[in-house]
Amino acid sequence: MPKVGMEPVRRKALVDAALRVIGDQGTLTVTMSEIARHAGVSPALAHHYFGSKEQLLIETIRSLLRQLRDDTVTALRTVAGPRERLSALIRVSFQASQFAPDTIAAWLAFYSEAQRSEEVRRLLVVYARRLRSNLMASLKALCADDDAERIAEGAAAMIDGLYIRQSLRSAPISIEASIALTEDYVSSHIDRLK
Amino acid sequence: MPKVGMEPVRRKALVDAALRVIGDQGTLTVTMSEIARHAGVSPALAHHYFGSKEQLLIETIRSLLRQLRDDTVTALRTVAGPRERLSALIRVSFQASQFAPDTIAAWLAFYSEAQRSEEVRRLLVVYARRLRSNLMASLKALCADDDAERIAEGAAAMIDGLYIRQSLRSAPISIEASIALTEDYVSSHIDRLK
DNA sequence: TTTTATTGATTGATGAGTCAATCAAAAATA
DNA sequence: TATTTTTGATTGACTCATCAATCAATAAAA
């Protein structure tokens, strides 16, 4: 079995397993054993590669963020024009993979962890800033700077809020309805300024 | 020390302490010892009155919800007319006591816990429903039912989203700005239908 | 004396992190 | 090619700390 070059394979397997287990249980208080089991390795190996549970969690968030960024880049590549780009950004935020119950549960757990871990907090701030600046870039072409700022803030809040509400799974809103609600907000505020 | 009639006093002290400690550490993985210490009693007494940690947490959420409901009732008592009531609801959501970092951190922790505990989830659903139905009651007097529904959904999402974003403490939005953003959303959507 | 309040001491379980030992591929050497 | 050495991969067993929960004992009121 022991073959050279396993490290990247195992790292990825562990990170993926961590995300699955965290999403499934909706908490970061999952054991290294459980994560390792899902990755098909021993708990000791997880420690061998990541040093600590905290570090594995950090890498897991990084992976989630990377995924989201890649999806965003891909989505933006195919569209031109500020208004279309805005729509693409909204669509990416609610795309199925991100809006799945497990993923939402994981995000929530990470937000909670950010209260304690400075590094986790920093990573989530990166996400918040990125969303904001992406929205701003398009909005600035459509309205005055300070209006753009307010609309970006509002749209970002609405997106995050729709996520949270989704996590309760009571009267769940569909992906399409979530997109429509956010689109509606953006549209009507841009129009009003015309 | 032992005096009769301590039970309600101790219960309240423990619930208050729990909220403080949870808010401060931003997690539910606080120890009974720590909560008891903040309440000025032994850990054993906390178990004596609540039976289990889970039960103490449940009572803590209930207390938070009760507080919010009382504030809402008070706020609504002084205003008349649907539009004014809408504003009052928004104001209550962002009132200082609710929007304090510790309180937000506690809410976040509870949302995360809701993924695992059915009872916690049920309590948070109560909050979500209450906010929604309060908003709906006023909105129905201002626009068509299905428009009211959409606006209520959007406003609730925006409120929750502003909370989450606040929890990261990067570029924190002021209470006034949060109120203004939500008011703006509601106003412009009601107006548009006129 | 009975009841209520209270705690110190203890227990049992759990889980993160460590470590020495094993195994097999790869590389070096004969 | 055959043999030895080295190294990365891997784990079982263990340690140490933490914490929820229990319980027997104590103290004060009723």
Contact flag B158-A154 (C-beta cutoff 8 Å): yes
Contact flag A167-B109 (C-beta cutoff 8 Å): no
Of the listed ranges A185-194, B24-33, B84-93, the least confidently predicted one is A185-194
Q: Which residue in B95, B70, B150, B32 sits closest to A173, CA to CA?
A: B150
Q: From the CA of A157, how many Å to the nearest CA of chain B?
A: 4
What per-residue confidence (pLDDT) applies to B36? 96
Q: How confident is the model at residue A3 (pLDDT cuts 50, 70, 90)?
A: low
Asked whether residue B42's C-beta has any atom of DNA/RNA strand C within 7 A, the reply is yes
What per-residue confidence (pLDDT) applies to B193? 62
What per-residue confidence (pLDDT) applies to A30? 95
Q: Which of B29, B125, B154 sits opposite A168 (nearest CB)?
A: B125
What per-residue confidence (pLDDT) applies to B2? 53
Q: Which residue in A32, A142, A126 sits closest to A81, CA to CA?
A: A142
Percent of chain B with pLDDT over 70: 97
Residue A130, pLDDT > 60, answer yes
Tokens of A93: 């935020």
Q: Which of B116, B165, B192 sits opposite A128 (nearest CB)?
A: B165
d(CA B47, CA B109) in angstroms, rounded, equals: 22
Long-range CB pairs of A39-43, under 8 A, 24+ apart, other chains included: A39/A10, A39/A13, A39/A14, A40/A13, A41/A10, A41/A13, A41/A14
Of all nucleotides in the shown strands, which has a C1' nearest the CA of A56?
Answer: C16
Q: Considering only CA atoms, which residue is closest to the C1' of nucleotide D8?
A: A4
Q: Considering only CA atoms, which residue is closest to the C1' of nucleotide C24?
A: A2
Residue A193, pLDDT > 70, answer no
- Per the listing, tokens 């548009």 go with B192
**pTM check: above 0.85:** yes
Measured between CA atoms, the residue of chain A closest to residue B159 is A161
**pLDDT tens-digit profile of B156-189?**
999 999 999 999 988 889 999 999 999 999 999 9
Contact flag B158-A157 (C-beta cutoff 8 Å): yes
